[in-house]
Amino acid sequence: MQSWYRFKDKKASLLIMGLLLFYIDFVHAAYNVAPEIVADGDQVYCPLTAMPIVTNFDIIDPDDTEIDAFYIQISTGYQRGFDLLSLTNSHPTISTSWNSQEAKLTLTGSGGGSMLYVDLIAAVKDVVFESTSESPTAEKFFSFTIGSVNYLPETGHYYEYVSQVGISWEEARVAAQNRTFFGLQGYLVTVTSSAEAQITGEQAAGTGWIGGSDAQTEGVWKWMTGPEAGQIFWNGNFTGNSPNFAFWNTEEPNDLNGEDYAHITAPGIGITGSWNDLRITGDATGDYQPKGYIVEYGGMPGDPVLNLSASTKISTPKIESTVPAERCGPGVVTLNAATTIGEVWWFDADGNNIGIGESFDTPYLDTTTTFYVLATYNGCTTGQKTSVQAEIKILPEINDGVTLTNCDADGVSDGFTNFDLTQYLYLLSPNEQPFNFSFYLTAADAENEVNRIAANDFNNSVADQIYFRADGVGPYCHAIGTVYLDVSTTSFPAGYRYELQTCDTEESDGIAPFDLTDAEADMLAQFPSGNGLTVTFYQTEDDALYKRNEIGNTETYFNSVPYSDSLFVRVDDEGSGTCFGVGEYLFLTVWPIPSFELESEYSFCTGGQVEVSPINASGNYTYSWRNEANFEVGTGASFSASEAGRYSAIATSIEGCVASPVYFNVTESGPPDLLPEFVLVDDDGDTGTITVLYENGELGLGDYEFYLDDLYGTKSETSVFTEVEPGLHTLFAVDKNGCGMDWIQVGVVGVPKFFSPNADGINDFLGIKGITSEFYTEGSFAVFDRYGKLLVQLDPMLHGWTGFYNGRPLPPSDYWYVLQLVDHDGAIHLKKGHFTLKQ
């Protein structure tokens, strides 16, 4: 075989060696049937003892009766420095050697010869496992194989370390691929579990290349060989993560100088059996120089089914969990523990077994005590005990049943307000220990520390009885107490105001009396009943705050500001003596009494009516119109009077203030009936005087004014017209209220001073002026010459004189006349005088 190493081409040498191994395996497979190994044993281990690793063992080989070597390995759960496999009893034909690195026991024939199967079978049955560890791993697997390669029951694969210093990763990949084991195809190992990592790293005969690389994509580590080829097992550098399994050393991979290939880390560097990344050739010397490679067999397509190996398992009872416990104050504590196998035994500090079972009630304790548990099987009491503490804490001293009082100052006077419970913690405990307080709605919640309420913003509308939990530190535990929440309501609701209103007095100065007690009932009704509240009134806020200058006579208080005033109200909780509310809540209003005017006199025309309406009203009022008997005859804004009399009007404002009655007169007016009997004419002189003589009501119901000749012209203020020229005149009587008029012709009797009957159409005849049948029934007109001779006598009611006498005109001269008229009363009116006849 030494001649093979004379080839200078290393790659050629590797190729030829691979072909030779393939040929040997082929020949063995063709002419020999592989032996079958049968091993039984799934046992429970008692720590610090030795026990056989099989309950039954056999080798079935139809071709052979002996074997050169046999291998037993702790393939999973190995604890170096504690675990050991050894052969017991006398087996003179068998020799053994123990490899603590690989956890492997090798059996060979004495003197280097072969072993008969019968001797080997007997020896394997006497191989025992023992460990000096009080806490062995929970499970240990033992593999039995006829080859020197390592076997992992978990995967059913075989693993072989091949030493070759300086080999590159690519060369190792090719070399591994060219290796076989009893027909199983080799490949650079792919490590997918912690058990696989241990058998290929910590328990391997050396360190070398494995099948991982990120050469394709930097930072994406894949398995490049075997059945897992292409599977990603790591992303990133040493801060990255694995989607499945990886076992990098500390701060690896780091891609130092382009390191893209995975290698088992050399012993003594970081975590034993872990990985680091190297360049494809590694370093030339030192710890990062490749020392070989790890080959994995199994799992490839076309691999034969082999029974070259078998495995057994032992399990060690372990305490998988403990639950310590504590209590407040002396008493019994319940502790709990659980085991993977078997029973839980409880021990005191002196090692006395004091209980069995997963749950254990301690004796009565007044101090903290440590107990110990052991997982035992079939009474095994060796192994490591686990401590479990029963802690007895000091019960905090608290003040149970404290009542906390707060003022209802949230603007809603409903007896509910927010409490900042953290401000009252000093009341909950009599000592100065630094307890942590929390609050709950029920005692059960407080005990279990669930559903904690917000301590800095709790409203007693939720509950007025709550529970607090005082948790101590150090040796103190917790205590539960009750808190009662009491609210004193002295603040009025937001926006509250109360108004007292009254009407002004007759003085109309805006000052009026108020009964402040009328407001107290409504104010107290803003608060929950039964609080023992009092209400007082003040003119200023400072007075209310300091309780000075309280308004005493609350039943008759006169406002100090005309028409509109306000007072400060103070509400005191006499029970607590701490809560009070102050605010400008009482407002006083004095409403003016109605003010309006009416004419003193109104009139209407007969058959009609007059509309009476207020004038200069100071507001919108309602009115009550009343007659002389004080019966209401109207309620409108105005009143239509159709009857004469004395009336009154009473105005009421929208605020309900009532004015004193305003009185007025209504008279009826009608057209005049102007008759001659009411007219006196004095016409004794050159001019006359016309006088209307009548008593009230004689002419009619109205009040009249008189005009002569010109209607609505010059009127007589006294119904007397003077210096009226002789002749017929029209006398008018007019109702001052527009209810009608009448007229009559009135004559002022007179004879002209001259006339000239010369047929020129001017003063051709002497007519008697002012005679009218309304005043006179008959009369006579006689003319005399200067000698007293009667010249003519005629009826002045019918015609005048033409200046003729006995058919002949009289000469110009002065003539005298006598005029006599008889009025309707038979009275004779005589008028004498003279006139001149001119040509």
How do residues 742-787 score in pLDDT, each as one tens digit?
A: 999 888 888 888 888 888 888 888 888 888 888 888 999 999 988 8
**How far apart are the C-alpha atoms of 309 and 142, rounded to whole Å?**
10
Which residues are CB-contacts of 248 (< 8 A; sequence separation ≥ 6)? Answer: 234, 238, 274, 275, 276
Which residues are CB-contacts of 341 (< 8 A; sequence separation ≥ 6)? Answer: 44, 315, 316, 317, 318, 375, 377
Q: Does the pLDDT at position 480 exceed 80?
A: yes
Go through the chain and tell me how many residues it has. Answer: 839
Structure-model confidence comparison of residues 587 and 819, the more confident one: 587
**How far apart are the C-alpha atoms of 367 and 360, rounded to whole Å?**
17
Contacts by 644-649, CB closer than 8 A, 24 or more apart: 644/604, 644/668, 647/612, 649/596, 649/598, 649/612, 649/614, 649/623, 649/624, 649/625
100-105-106 Cα angle (round to 5):
125
Q: Does the pLDDT at position 336 exceed 90?
A: yes
Helix, strand, or coil (residue 422): helix
pLDDT at 500: 94
Mean pLDDT of 82-87: 96
Which residues are CB-contacts of 631 (< 8 A; sequence separation ≥ 6)? Answer: none
Residue 12 — pLDDT band, cuts 50, 70, 90? very low
Q: Does the pLDDT at position 690 exceed 50?
A: yes
User: Is 32 in contact with 63 (CB distance < 8 Å)?
Assistant: yes
The token duo for 308 is 């070259």
Which residues sit opposite 816 in a β-bridge? 784, 834
pLDDT at 186: 96
Residue that the structure tokens 């401000």 belong to? 423
User: Is 232 in contact with 212 (CB distance < 8 Å)?
Assistant: no
pLDDT at 737: 86
Q: Does the pLDDT at position 31 exceed 70?
A: no
pLDDT at 433: 67
Residue 453 — pLDDT band, cuts 50, 70, 90? very high
Structure-model confidence comparison of residues 147 and 540, the more confident one: 540
User: Is 733 in contact with 708 (CB distance < 8 Å)?
Assistant: no
Structure-model confidence comparison of residues 11 and 305, the more confident one: 305
Which residues are CB-contacts of 54 (< 8 A; sequence separation ≥ 6)? Answer: 39, 40, 41, 124, 125, 127, 142, 144, 312
Structure-model confidence comparison of residues 93 and 833, the more confident one: 93
pLDDT at 27: 43
Residue 400 — pLDDT band, cuts 50, 70, 90? very high
pLDDT at 516: 94
**How far apart are the C-alpha atoms of 181 and 17, rounded to whole Å?**
14
Mean pLDDT of 483-495: 83
CA–centroid distance for 774 within its chain: 104
CA–centroid distance for 133 within its chain: 64
Residue that the structure tokens 């019960």 belong to? 395
Residue 32 — pLDDT band, cuts 50, 70, 90? low
**How far apart are the C-alpha atoms of 823 and 746, rounded to whole Å?**
13
CA–centroid distance for 661 within its chain: 60
Mean pLDDT of 546-552: 92
Q: Of 831, 669, 671, 692, nearest to 750 (Cα)? A: 831
58-63-67 Cα angle (round to 5):
60
pLDDT at 24: 43
Go through 756-771 and write b for each residue having 16 or more CB atoms within 10 A of its CB, e for each that does not.
bbeeeeeeeebebbbb
φ/ψ bin of 434: left (φ > 0), alpha (ψ from -120 to 50), beta (otherwise):
beta
pLDDT at 322: 95
**How far apart are the C-alpha atoms of 275 and 264, rounded to whole Å?**
5
Q: Read off φ and ψ for residue 568, nearest 5 degrees.
A: -90, 135
Instruction: Please spell the DSSP secondary structure of 120-137, one letter per residue.
Output: HHHHHHTEEEEE--SS--
**How far apart are the C-alpha atoms of 573 and 558, rounded to whole Å?**
28
**How far apart are the C-alpha atoms of 695 and 720, rounded to whole Å?**
15
Radius of gyration of the chain (CA): 72
Tell whether the torsion through CA atoms of 276, 282, 285 and 290 is positive or negative: positive
Task: Name the helix (H) or strand (E) containing 175.
Answer: helix 169-177
Structure-model confidence comparison of residues 579 and 323, the more confident one: 323
Residue 138 DSSP one-character state: S
Q: Read off φ and ψ for residue 192, nearest 5 degrees.
A: -125, 10
pLDDT at 658: 94
Residue that the structure tokens 């800095």 belong to? 456
**How far apart are the C-alpha atoms of 305 and 183, rounded to whole Å?**
9
**How far apart are the C-alpha atoms of 428 and 420, rounded to whole Å?**
14
pLDDT at 525: 87
Q: Is the peptide bond before 253 cis (omega within 30 degrees of 0)?
A: yes
Q: Does the pLDDT at position 4 exceed 80?
A: no
Mean pLDDT of 453-478: 89
Tell me the per-residue pLDDT of 506-531, one tens digit each, with 9 for 90 and over. Answer: 888 999 999 999 999 999 888 877 77
**How far apart are the C-alpha atoms of 228 and 211, rounded to whole Å?**
10
pLDDT at 21: 42
Which residues are CB-contacts of 637 (< 8 A; sequence separation ≥ 6)? Answer: 613, 614, 623
Q: Quote the mean pLDDT of the chain.
A: 89
Which residues are CB-contacts of 305 (< 8 A; sequence separation ≥ 6)? Answer: none
Mean pLDDT of 190-215: 92
Q: Read off φ and ψ for residue 129, nearest 5 degrees.
A: -110, 140
For helices 169-177 and 10-31, what crossing angle results, to 10°?
20
Q: Are strands 309-315 and 42-44 parallel, antiparallel or unpaired?
A: parallel
pLDDT at 312: 96
Structure-model confidence comparison of residues 388 and 495, the more confident one: 388
pLDDT at 340: 93
Q: What is the pTM of this model?
A: 0.50
User: Is 247 in contact with 196 (CB distance < 8 Å)?
Assistant: no
Q: Of 207, 309, 326, 316, nearest to 266 (Cα)? A: 207
347-349-352 Cα angle (round to 5):
40
Mean pLDDT of 167-190: 95
Q: Does the pLDDT at position 636 exceed 70?
A: yes
Q: In 602-685, which residue ranges form alpha helices assigned H by DSSP?
A: none
User: Residue 517: what residue type?
Assistant: T
φ/ψ bin of 226: left (φ > 0), alpha (ψ from -120 to 50), beta (otherwise):
left
**How far apart are the C-alpha atoms of 41 and 313, rounded to whole Å?**
6
**How far apart are the C-alpha atoms of 372 and 378, rounded to whole Å?**
19
Q: Does the pLDDT at position 694 exceed 90?
A: no
pLDDT at 14: 42
